[in-house]
Amino acid sequence: MASAPETVYDRMPNDLSAFWMPFTANRQFKAAPRLLVEAKDMHYTTQDGRKVLDGTAGLWCVNAGHCREPIVRAVQEQVARMEYAPPFQMGHPAPFELAARLARMAPGDLDHVFFTNSGSESVDTALKIALAYHRMKGEGQRTRLIGRSRGYHGVGFGGISVGGMSPNRKFYGGMLGGVDHLPHTHSLQNMAFSRGQPEWGAHLADELEEIVALHDASTIAAVIVEPVAGSAGVLVPPKGYLERLRAICDKHGLLLIFDEVITGFGRLGTSFAGDRFGVVPDLMTTAKGLTNATVPMGAVFCRKFIHDAFMQGDNTHAVELTHGYTYSAHPLAAAAGLATLDVYQEEGLFERAAELEPYWQDALHSLDDAGPVVDVRNFGIMGAVQFDPRKDSPGTRGYDIFTKCYEKGVLVRYTADILAMSPPLIVSKGQIDQIVDTLAESIKEAA
Ligand code: PXG
């Protein structure tokens, strides 16, 4: 509970109108605001003093739980020592250390790390590196980018172009030219209520061969997918699907990009999805769990051959990649990142996630027969429950269940008639039960 006297940080604001909220139904929210004022470990405290169990790790990002003391301390110490240093033609020690540790953690030879401030920036950075790489190799005609239907790659123009969420795209005209999309991998008919990876659907990767046949491999730079699609409501790749995508990319010289903004940093019980699936991409985009969301930061991981292609020639004073952000490798983010990796490692949180996965799976699938549920999906410590939409008002059933859960003290993530869950990896079995019991009750009441 916030302590008196009230400050701007914990009182209800007098005026909600000026803040145009992101990805929010502003008018609906402002009529009945949900404000959070404190967070610790697995819980938020609301503005009216209620504890809410965080079933979503914030937005899939607070993997170690909230306000963890070592991370808070590292950021406090860094802000008092040096709050900012320019990252262009200058440096400071922490991001070198952080990049080296990340390179050691990453699968295969994803040995070089470019820092950004968000998942969206990581995606646009990776797409630019892919295009520039081909150009460096004398294949500048490889400009086409392949995404996937229902994919989410953030909100930059690159990310929405390869993304496959139609509401995010429809206002923005042609965006990038030369983009095509694979079909998504979800099918209620063939995989509803799968536990973990569906058996059906590896053949959907063969659509990449069709796209290559249509455009010719010599025009295609890269393929980007989320190993497990998060925002679309936890779409788990069919067994063998990612392996097949990798093989087709290799055959045609296409770079494979895994967008691991959600799946990275333990969400699947391994450091990255690439480890879990045994598939190493050529570029990997991350953010969120990199700093436990304490300070915004993203990172793009590159395989050695990509990085090395930029480091050729005698002109060593030339900038190799004309790209970067004022806040790339920001000191507070780097400090948060280093402290976060320590917490993950010292507490064995990725292993803990792997151990909890069977319990999480069984708990979620106890909802298989609950009222209007048409699918329950899970992988790692990610899960989603999908509802039959109400006739004439799609999305309202999901919203009603989401608000009931919140009133009962559990935060889940609402996207139309799908609710997604991704609690911090410190979640207890009792708290998993609480999430699922609250969902079950709310589903019954909102039916
Ligand atoms: N790629 C992936 C796979 C993501 O999930 C981004 C890129 C963009 O990251 P930034 O940091 O620019 O937001 C994301 C972000 C949701 C939800 O509830 C998901 C995200 C963000 C907000 C909400 O599904 N993912």
User: For residue range 243-256, what is the model confidence (pLDDT) as tens digits?
Assistant: 999 999 999 999 99
| Structure tokens, 396 | 């309202």
Q: Using a 6 Å cutoff on CB, does residue 59 contact ligand 1?
A: yes
CATH classification at residue 322? 3.40.640.10
* The token pair that represents 434 in the structure block: 């609480």
193 and 115, same structural domain?
yes
Q: How far is the CA of 59 from the centre of ligand 1 (A)?
A: 8
Any domain includes 14: no
Give the β-pairing of 382-387 and 43-46: unpaired
292 CB within 6 A, ligand 1: no
Counting from 1 in the atom list of ligand 1, the atom nearest the Cα of 229 is 3
Residues 269 and 314 in one domain: yes
Q: Based on the structure, what is the number of domains in the chain?
A: 2
β 144-148/179-182 pair status: parallel
Say what the pLDDT of residue 7 is: 85
- Residue 255 structural domain: 72-346
In this prediction, residue 174 has a pLDDT band, given cuts at 50, 70 and 90, of low
| Tens digits of residue pLDDT in 348-407 | 999 999 999 999 999 999 999 999 999 999 999 999 999 999 999 999 999 999 999 999
Task: Provide the H-helix boundaries in 253-379.
Answer: 273-277, 304-310, 331-346, 349-365
Residue 271: helix, strand or coil by DSSP?
A: coil
Final residue before a domain boundary, out of 312, 346, 380: 346
Report yes or no on 263 lying in a domain.
Answer: yes
Two tokens, residue 327: 């806040």
Residue 4 scores a pLDDT above 70 = no
Examine the fold and report which residue of 346, 372, 390 is the final residue of a domain before the chain moves on. Answer: 346
Among 346, 379, 398, the domain boundary falls at 346
Looking at 49-53, 169-173, 207-211, 339-343, which range is the least confident one?
Answer: 169-173
> Cα separation of 397 and 411, whole Å?
16
Q: How far is the CA of 417 from the centre of ligand 1 (A)?
A: 18
- Closest ligand 1 atom to residue 263 Cα is 3
Q: Are 331 and 359 contained in the same domain?
A: no
- Residue 226 CA: which ligand 1 atom is closest? 3
Over residues 129-172, the pLDDT tens digits come to: 999 999 999 999 999 999 999 999 999 999 999 999 988 888 88
The 10s digit of each residue's pLDDT in 418-437 is: 999 999 999 999 999 999 99
Question: Which residue's entry shows tokens 């025009």?
Answer: 219
Span 237-292, pLDDT tens digits: 999 999 999 999 999 999 999 999 999 999 999 999 999 999 999 999 999 999 99
353 domain-assigned? yes
pTM of the model: 0.97
Q: Is the pLDDT of residue 43 over 70?
A: yes
Alpha carbon distance 43, 40 (integer Å): 5
